[in-house]
Each structure stands twice: as C-alpha cells, then as structure tokens.
Amino acid sequence: MTDTTPIAIRFLTSMAQALATMSLYAERHPARARAAVASFDVLRDLQAIDPRPSFSFLGSDVVYGQQAIRGLTDWEWAMKLANVGVQRLEFADIVEREAYVSFLEDVLARVSAFTAIAAANAPATVPLPRGTGPTAIRFGAVGVRGSTDHRATEAIPAEDASLLDLNAEVDAIRWVHDEVDTREEIPLLEAESIVRSLSVAMHGDSQMLLPLLTLKEFDQYTTTHALNVSVLSMGLAEFMGLSPREVRSYGVAGMLHDLGKVRVPKDILTKPGKLTPEEWALMRSHTVEGARLILQSDQNLDVAALVAFEHHIMINGGGYPDRHFRCDCHKASTLVHVCDVYDALRTKRPYRDAWEPGATLAYIERGIGTEFDADVAKAFIAMMGKWEPRLAVANLSPIAA
C-alpha cells in the first residue's frame, strides 16, 4: 500500500500557499487564478492515489483520513480554517478545476471576514458554511457528512469568566455520534481533539473554569450531556491529582460513556412517562452496547469501554448491568458515575425539572458508600465547593437561518 501522507501534506501546503498568495491580489487578478491552479495540480496528484481524501482541522491538529499528521502540528492554517468553520474538508469525487478555484475563493472570503471581525474585537459571527451541496468538495463544521443542523452556543459568562464559545466542540461531538451511528466507528483522533480543546477552555484563565452547557431543547440532551460529563470528569480527575494523561483519558471516557444510546430508539430516550419493562431493558443495554461499540472501534480505548460498561454500577453492587458483588469498578467508572448523576440531575428532563446545585450535592453526599465511592464523591463535592463559582454556563440555541 502506498503511503499517501507525503502528498497529502504537499497538497495542504499548496492550499495554504494559494490562499496566502490569493489574499495579496485583487479579485480577478490573474495571479490569483495561477496560485489556485498550482494547488489544484497537487490535488489532482493526490486524488490519483487517494480519490476521496478527507481532512479535519481541530485546534492546531490536522487529521488526514484516520491519522494525525505530525509534520503539520501547529500549522497556522489549521486554526485559521477551523476558525472560519472549515473543520472538515472532504473530496467526495474527482474535483473539477473551477470547483476548486471557487472553493478557495469562498474560504478566502471567510478568512478575510473573520480577520476583519477579529480586528474590530467584535464577537465572531462568521456564519458556518453549509458545505453539503452536491459538489465533489464538502466542507464545514465537523458534521459535513451528517446533517447541516448546526447550532450556535451563546455564552453567559460567570462573573469574570470570559465569553465562551463551545460551538465547535458541540458540533464535533454531534458529528462523532453520527459517525458511530452510521459507520459503527469512533473517530478517535477527533474525539481526543475535542477533549484537548475542552481542556484548553478549562485552563484558558488563571483559575480553573468548568465550561458547562445548559439544555434548551430535549433533543440536544445527548450532546450537551456528553460535553458536560467530559468537562466534569476532567475537572474531577485533575482535582484528585491524576496525571495529565489520565485526565485526558477520563475526558474521552466521560464524553463516550453513553455512546451506546445511539442504539436506543429516540422515543424511549425522551419518553416523559414510566418505561415499560421491555423499554427499560433496552435503555439499560446502552452500557453493554457502548462498550461493544468502543472496543470494536479501537482496542486502545479500554478505559472508555470499561466506563461505558460500568458507569451505572453502584459501589454496593446495585445498578446495572447486573452484578452480585460489590463494585470493583475502575476508578474512572466511579468518577464518571458521580459526574454523570450530577449532570443528569442538574438538567431539566421531559418528566421533571432541573435540580438545584445544593440539592444535587446533598443527594451525592447521601449516596456515599451505597451508590458512590466515598473518596470520589467527597472530592467531587469539594471540587464543586471550590470551583462552582467558576462555572461558565453556555446555552445551546438554534443558529439563525
């Protein structure tokens, strides 16, 4: 098998060069077209050996197909493209020259608009591209393969917390779920990038910040909950003094803990009334299903798979899947369990209102020794005592059409 990575790198470099050159000349100047065509030639070479190349730009990372491109770490264009909503770029078919040139013009227009907005110090409002037309080039937020149902996050800063925009992370998590649903495969590198990016949001200030989302619409529960449990799990792991590597792996596990719910019918997930025994059995199967999906996708995700399997098991052996002995669960599972319960209770559900923070922490305290591991639960309560004033709550709301 030929390694197509070097030519993929050459293509990305040529694209960046073309965009940089094009930005120096006025519209319709022949130098613009020349620069675009030079890059198109490299794309043609790439498509000769990889007809459907795809790229993700997340933070400072570049992913080509299923692999991170090391040589391009901190490549400034990864950030520039992600900033203007081009987190994902796919060539679904052999590309015509005109289509590629107009794609570059489109990207350049977005980059210029973003730069102007940034210079004016205004909030970024560059609309996300809807690159899912029937063309060979698809680009957009990470979800280009899925729906174009993008949402914006509108941040409500807590006290001195700076304005938060978790839009990219929310879209990326939704895309990860869609990928698992349609391809039974977890895009691991993208999942890790989301966790890294959340970690940056948590440490962007001099003090720790927990960027959590509040739920506006019930159908956004899965995404909101995945993000919140990931943030809380990383916060707690860090609070408990775990290594940065463990913190990240707990963040991935927190994000994927309910992945098995992609296999549970939506009407059961959002049913306002009591579940029938059959429905309840299906609901409980999300633990086993999640572990299976994660393991079959990547053996290296063993902690995440364990957490998916164990996060509803209580410390006294209760909960599910069924066990007849006290929990000897992985530490990550006991930790995600507390974060999971906290976020679930704090969130308004179709059948009940959101719980107040005090009542939620009191519930966790009462569950010490029966439902929750004592060290973990006490640490969680202490963490919330210390960091709850530093919660930055971001709302999810539909983007204006």
Binding site for Fe ion (CB under 5 A): 258, 340
Shorter beta-carbon distance to Fe ion: residue 68 or 344: 344
Shorter beta-carbon distance to Fe ion: residue 20 or 281: 281
Structure tokens at 330: 């992985």
DSSP per-residue string spanning 60-83: TEEEETTEE-GGGTT-HHHHHHHH
Q: For residue 277, give the DSSP letter.
A: H
Q: Least CB distance from residue 159 to Fe ion, whole Å?
A: 29
The span from the CA of 179 to the CA of 140, in Å, is: 15
Pick from 117, 8, 113: nearest CA to 71: 8
Which amino acid is it at 41?
D
**What does residue 200 show for φ and ψ, rounded to 5 degrees?**
-65, -45
Q: Least CB distance from residue 183 to Fe ion, whole Å?
A: 22
Q: Least CB distance from residue 290 to Fe ion, whole Å?
A: 8
Shorter beta-carbon distance to Fe ion: residue 340 or 373: 340
SS3 4: coil
Secondary structure element (H or E) that encloses residue 16, with its range: helix 5-22
Decide if 32 contacts 22 (C-beta within 8 A).
yes
Q: Exposed, middle or buried, 277 (CB in 10 Å: 0-12/13-18/19+)?
A: exposed
The span from the CA of 254 to the CA of 210, in Å, is: 14
Shorter beta-carbon distance to Fe ion: residue 150 or 312: 312
Shorter beta-carbon distance to Fe ion: residue 258 or 373: 258
Shorter beta-carbon distance to Fe ion: residue 16 or 231: 231
Q: Least CB distance from residue 257 to Fe ion, whole Å?
A: 6
Q: Least CB distance from residue 107 to Fe ion, whole Å?
A: 38
Shorter beta-carbon distance to Fe ion: residue 61 or 258: 258
Q: Least CB distance from residue 181 to Fe ion, whole Å?
A: 17
Radius of gyration (C-alpha) of the chain in whole angstroms: 22
Q: Least CB distance from residue 252 to Fe ion, whole Å?
A: 15
Shorter beta-carbon distance to Fe ion: residue 190 or 258: 258
The span from the CA of 104 to the CA of 41, in Å, is: 14
Decide if 226 contacts 258 (C-beta within 8 A).
yes
Q: Least CB distance from residue 333 to Fe ion, whole Å?
A: 11
Pick from 344, 143, 338, 364: nearest CA to 261: 344
Pick from 137, 138, 86: nearest CA to 111: 86
